[in-house]
Structure 1
């Protein structure tokens, strides 16, 4: 009902010499309509991921900047970590994993320095990987839409063109006036597929780079903390 009203409003406005996307959708075959609708939903979800990821990544980076500045200025790493343990800071979780493993080794009567170094590094690497996976959790959907949406739209186009040729056979008329509307509706499916895929590909490439850069930053932080903790173990 809403689409019918929109199509009528556009028609009443007198812009009959231009493409009417709503009319193209309403006049399309039911299969092509289903494909268009699915691609529009995918496009909406893509933009939701783009907006939420941008906001989330900005907040994570701000919290990590604040945490890292305070961490290296602190006199006692463990006390600093306890004060901020409840905050959702990826660097804090990496530091917490390293400090927990360091504490277990420091409390033992005999310290295996080589084994302790490996265990501390492994604990922080594992935590770092979990944080990177959590950040990139929804990026797979962007990659899927970017690679699949054009082919889904193309399927709708092929189906619409097949339907147009069927109409030619039914009406025994191959004039452009008979063929053109069906082909326009069919090509509109490909256009929607590209509309969903292009921002998804751009966002995926951009966000993957940001996640990789942030993962490298966490790795540098983990390496510095690992050096500091193992140095303290060697002094025991």
Structure 2
């Protein structure tokens, strides 16, 4: 008993000490969660910057689009640069519009249906880019605590094994394994909580931008539909 009590003060309960003293399975859990947390923060930073740029680009495009500039001039400007968001949707629709007129398409309904399909495909492509990697945040947010809990359970198993091996119920015997186990849970929460918060925020922002894309597509489709009707008369 005295030997156990004398050994206890020499145990390192710092973060590094808990990590190095942990079982290799618990270490694997900790490293996996730490890597997932780092990747989550990389996604969060990248998406935040991406969404800000996308919002600014949408605002600039809408100002130009509704300024009265001709569609042909705007198409030439947008097609010369690799634009995304509203500009990409606009260019895709204008390409189909010009292709239909070059082929002297006579069916108003057929042209309208093709334009609608092109707009849907363009929106789906932009939506995929906006929502890319958000699923990883959702996965870490939901699975992170359970992965950390696995490390906790394994660490507690080691604590009971230490009790059986030492034939002692002294807290010093199990303090280390229990601390390691709880540390694994803490890392799981550190990875999961920001991931959940970021996923909710970023998915909401992505949904708003997708809504803007769909709204613009409906308005632009209406404008082209009016021109088609005027030309068919």
TM score, norm. by length of structure 2? 0.90
Q: Quick check: 203-212 or 104-113, which moved more? A: 104-113
**Equivalent residue number for residue 47 of structure 1:** 41
How many residue pairs end up in the alignment?
A: 220
Match of 1:57 in 2: 51
Contact 2:26 2:151 in 1 (8 A): yes
Q: Which consecutive segments of 4 or more residues in structure 1 shift more than 4 A?
A: none
Indicate whether 1:27 and 2:24 are aligned. no
Segments of 5+ residues of structure 2 without an aligned counterpart are: 1-9
Q: Give the RMSD, CA atoms, in angstroms.
A: 1.6
Q: Distance in 2 between matches of 1:33 and 1:110?
A: 66
Structure 1 distance, partners of 2:103, 2:178, is 76
Task: Report whether the alignment pairs 1:69 with 2:52.
Answer: no
Give the deviation of 1:180 after TM superposition: 2.0
Distance 1:186 1:34 in 2: 12
For the Cα contact (< 8 Å) 1:106–1:233, is it kept in 2? no
Q: How many Å separate the matches in 1 of 2:104 and 2:20?
A: 77
Give 2:78's aligned residue. 84
Q: Kindly indicate whether residue 32 of structure 2 is the aligned counterpart of residue 38 of structure 1.
A: yes
Please list, as runs of the form range in 1=range in 2, the aligned pairs for 1:163-182 lying within 5 A after superposition: 163-182=158-177
Superposition deviation, residue 175 in structure 1:
1.6
Partner of 2:102: 107
Following the alignment from structure 1 to structure 2, what is the Cα–Cα distance between the partners of residues 155 and 182?
A: 14
* CA deviations over 1:2-45 (Å, ceiling 9, x no partner): xxxxxxxxxxxxxx9x9522221122111111111111111111
